[in-house]
């Protein structure tokens, strides 16, 4: 038995109300400890002059830069702009991607018609489309929505489609045996069995949406987190760039976590979780 | 007669040999009202296919299947199938799995469906598990739900395709007794496929032995065991005789097609 499994066994045996704070949250506390150690090291590297803060920034500088941005109020506008772009782009991708994925998964002919386009666009790095998007939509809100939409819609569509298409044949037999019509087969078997895949698609789409925000705003914008990072970077304001990175990372982690929790709730729906 | 099958023939296109494979060849079979008829036969001979045809899921090439005198051509509410694999919907609770057939029919009110599902949960001995999901149940419990789901639409003919094949020996014996009770309470006619000869003899009024593919009815054995059947019945000499006889019939088939060369006792 390796030491890892040993630890797990021990942690299990120790379970119960009497466990100490440390024992209950050991993994999280270890993680926090590592992050804290890294921050200290980073800070002192600057203090002792081992690295140039112009390039590396430092935790206290990032906090100071963030506080200044909150004080002058600029951060709120950037957050609001990026948030709106995300909500509209991602929302549109869900509204379009889920129904299209369902239809493509269900109707063979519909799939045959759209598959070449989906495959081609899914395989193309969406950033490559950015110049076209700027030509078509300009540099205002609509071009950001477009790039976020294009980044997000394919992972959502493809996963939903896979979910609908990979229905267990046994379930189809059961439904038919109970006299299900095509419509009933769709609503009582195809839709529910595709939910876990659909949620996975939504989660994967999130990451793509965040990339879309940053790339879209760097290409040409007048506000937003990505725009702020772009202008700060161009003027060597490393501290402000770091603030932007932290915001994007935090948003990504938080949103992914929310979807992961929802996904876990539907874990039992996965067909391979039978017996 | 509950079920009347005459000259049923089914061919399947086989992709590998690029021609039709005859699976059922002129099956004649009658099932009497209220009886439990077991089907046994070599693996792959076409038992599931026949049951599928009775359910209306598989089209027949020739012949006629009648349930209560009405020709079968598609699934209907007068028949219900308990499938070989436990195929409960993982996204539905026990209650809602059981009410599935009734929901599809859309003839009953919601409250009525709930009441019926609840009484079936009790009938199969799962009281208190109505709101559980299939993945929270043991194999034996899932098969009970599977049976309850088939009983829910109140079919006149119950079709069971090796319902206990995936269970361990102990649970299987227990479920055999349970199924006997459930069927007696629900007063159903049933067609039952199994690989376990003792299961067939224990549960059935008659046992139909299918020949190797293309399947015909090789023999029909009357299970004339005296008195109430309990697990102890399996120890009676008469029970063993019947088991032996059916085993020999299947063995002959297996040997004829070269599936088996050695001789193994029952
Ligand atoms: N949909 C199908 N298409 C083509 N061939 C099929 C199909 N279903 C069954 N078969 C073939 O028909 C034959 C009989 O299959 P069936 O499942 O009825 O056998 P079985 O007696 O139930 O076997 P087992 O005891 O192993 O369950 C097999 O050779 C199988 O390969
Ligand atoms: Mg079978």
**Domains of chain B in sequence order:** 34-59+71-78+156-266 (3.40.50.300), 88-154 (no CATH)
The rounded distance, in Å, linking the Cα atoms of B210 and B250 is 8
Q: Hey, which residues does B156 pair with through a beta bridge?
A: none
pTM over 0.90: no
B43 exposed, middle or buried (CB, 10 Å; 0-12, 13-18, 19+)? exposed
User: Cα(A111)–Cα(B221) distance, rounded to whole angstroms?
Assistant: 53
B134: which chain A residues are within 8 Å (Cβ-Cβ)? Answer: 274-275
Inform me whether the C-beta atom of residue B81 falls under 8 Å from chain A C-beta atoms.
yes
- The H or E element containing residue B209 is strand B206-210
For residue A184, the distance in angstroms to the closest alpha carbon of chain B comes to 7
Residue of B55, B88, B89 to mutate when probing chain A, most A C-beta within 10 A: B89
What are residue A243's DSSP bridge partners?
none
Beta pairing class for B19-31 and B3-14: antiparallel
The ipTM, to two decimals, is 0.87
Q: What is the signed CA dihedral for B139, B143, B149, B154, rounded to 10 degrees?
A: -160
Low-confidence ranges of chain A (pLDDT < 50): 1-15, 273-275
Question: What is the C-alpha to C-alpha distance for residues B167 and A12, in angstroms, rounded to an integer?
Answer: 31
What is d(CA B66, CA B4) in angstroms, rounded to the nearest whole number?
A: 5
Look at A178 and B139 and tell me if their CB atoms are within 8 Å.
Answer: no
Q: In the prediction, which pLDDT does A31 show? A: 92
A46 and A75, same structural domain? Answer: no
Torsion of CA A205, A206, A209, A210, to 10 degrees: -150
Q: Residue A161 belongs to what H/E stretch?
A: helix A141-165
Per-residue pLDDT of chain B (266 residues; tens, 9 = 90+): 889 999 999 999 888 888 888 999 989 999 999 899 999 999 888 999 999 999 999 999 999 999 999 999 899 999 999 987 778 999 999 999 999 999 999 989 999 999 999 999 998 889 999 999 998 999 889 989 999 999 999 999 999 999 988 888 888 888 899 888 888 888 889 999 999 999 999 999 999 999 988 889 999 999 988 878 888 888 889 999 999 999 999 988 888 776 654 444 43
pLDDT value of position B9: 93
The reply to whether A150 and A233 lie within a common domain is: yes
Q: Cα–Cα distances in Å, from A48 out to A41, A43, A90, A195?
A: 10, 9, 45, 54
CA B187 to chain CA centroid, nearest Å: 16
Q: Number of folded domains in chain A?
A: 2
Q: Are residues A44 and A172 in the same domain?
A: no
Instruction: Give me the domain span that covers residue A179.
Output: 59-274
Indicate which residue's Cα is closest to atom 20 of ligand 1. Answer: B44
* pLDDT for position A7: 45
Q: Are residues A162 and A35 in the same domain?
A: no
A24 shares its domain with A100: no
CB atoms within 10 A of CB A135: 9
Dist CA A193 CA B113 (whole Å): 23
* pLDDT computed for residue B259 by the predictor: 60
* Residue B91 with chain A: CB contacts under 8 Å: 192-193, 195, 266, 268-269
Residue B82 three-state SS:
strand
Q: Are residue A165 and residue A236 in the same domain, yes or no? A: yes
Is B211 touching ligand 1 by the criterion CB < 6 Å? no
For residue range B57-105, what is the model confidence (pLDDT) as tens digits?
Answer: 999 999 999 999 999 989 999 999 998 777 899 999 999 999 999 999 9
CA distances from B189 to A91, A149, B185 (A): 54, 58, 12
Task: Give the pLDDT of residue A11.
Answer: 44
Q: Are A226 and A127 part of one and the same domain? A: yes
Domain co-membership, A270 together with A193? yes
Tell whether A8 and A64 lie within a shared domain.
no
Omega into B124 within 30° of 0, i.e. cis?
A: no
Q: Are B214 and B23 spatial neighbours (Cβ–Cβ below 8 Å)?
A: yes
Q: Are residues A231 and A184 in the same domain?
A: yes
- Atom of ligand 1 lying closest to residue B43 CA: 25
Nearest to B90 among A173, A184, A268 (CB): A268
Tokens of residue A49, six digits: 């002059």
Residues of A with CB below 8 A from B55's CB?
A: 177
pLDDT computed for residue B169 by the predictor: 87
Residue B62 φ then ψ, to 5°: -155, 165
Mark whether A107 and A180 lie in a shared domain: yes
CATH number at residue A88: 1.10.3720.10
Q: What is the pLDDT at residue B100?
A: 96
Residues A165 and A265 both lie in one domain: yes
């Amino acid at each position: 038995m390796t030491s890892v499994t040993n630890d797990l066994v021990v942690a299990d045996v120790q379970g119960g109300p009497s466990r100490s704070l440390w024992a209950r949250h050991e993994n999280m506390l270890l993680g926090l400890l590592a992050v804290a150690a890294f921050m200290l090291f980073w800070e002192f590297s600057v203090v002792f002059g081992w690295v140039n803060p112009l390039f590396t920034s430092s935790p206290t500088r990032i906090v100071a830069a963030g506080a200044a941005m909150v004080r002058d109020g600029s951060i709120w506008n950037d957050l609001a702009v990026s948030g709106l772009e995300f909500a509209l782009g991602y929302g549109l991708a869900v509204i379009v991607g889920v129904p299209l994925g369902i239809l493509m998964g269900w109707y063979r002919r519909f799939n045959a018609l759209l598959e070449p386009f989906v495959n081609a666009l899914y395989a193309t790095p969406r950033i490559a489309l950015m110049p076209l998007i700027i030509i078509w939509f300009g540099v205002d809100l609509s071009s950001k929505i477009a790039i976020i939409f294009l980044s997000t819609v394919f992972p959502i569509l493809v996963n939903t489609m896979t979910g609908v298409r990979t229905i267990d044949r046994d379930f189809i037999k059961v439904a038919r045996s109970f006299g299900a019509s095509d419509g009933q087969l769709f609503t009582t078997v195809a839709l529910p069995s595709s939910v876990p895949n659909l949620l996975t698609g939504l989660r994967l789409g999130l990451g793509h949406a965040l990339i879309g925000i940053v790339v879209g705003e760097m290409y040409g914008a007048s506000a937003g987190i990505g725009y702020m990072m772009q202008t700060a970077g161009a003027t060597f304001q490393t501290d402000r760039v770091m603030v932007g990175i932290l915001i994007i990372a935090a948003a990504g982690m938080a949103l992914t976590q929310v979807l992961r929790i929802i996904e876990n709730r539907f874990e039992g729906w996965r067909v391979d979780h039978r017996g | 007669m509950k079920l009347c099958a005459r000259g049923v023939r089914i061919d399947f296109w086989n992709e590998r040999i690029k021609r039709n494979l005859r699976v059922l060849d002129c099956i004649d079979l009658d099932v009497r009202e209220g009886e439990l008829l077991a089907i046994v036969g070599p693996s792959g001979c076409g038992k599931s296919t026949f049951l599928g045809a009775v359910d209306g899921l598989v089209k027949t090439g020739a012949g006629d299947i009648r349930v209560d005198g009405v020709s079968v051509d598609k699934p209907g509410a007068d028949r219900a199938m308990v499938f070989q694999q436990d195929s409960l919907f993982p996204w539905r609770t026990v209650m809602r799995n059981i009410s599935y057939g009734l929901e599809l029919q859309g003839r009953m009110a919601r409250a009525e469906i709930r009441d019926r599902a609840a009484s079936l949960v009790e009938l199969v001995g799962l009281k208190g598990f109505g709101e559980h999901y299939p993945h929270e149940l043991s194999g034996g419990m899932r098969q009970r739900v599977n049976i309850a789901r088939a009983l829910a639409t109140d079919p006149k003919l119950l079709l069971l395709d090796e319902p206990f094949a995936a269970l361990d020996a102990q649970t299987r014996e227990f479920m055999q007794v349970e199924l006997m009770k459930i069927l007696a309470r629900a007063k159903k006619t049933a067609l039952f496929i199994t690989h376990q000869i003792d299961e067939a003899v224990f549960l059935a009024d008659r046992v139909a032995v299918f020949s190797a593919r293309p399947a015909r009815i090789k023999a029909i054995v009357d299970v004339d065991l005296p008195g109430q059947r309990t697990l102890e019945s399996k120890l009676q000499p008469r029970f063993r005789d019947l088991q032996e006889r059916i085993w020999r019939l299947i063995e002959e088939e297996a040997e004829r097609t070269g599936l088996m060369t050695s001789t193994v006792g029952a």
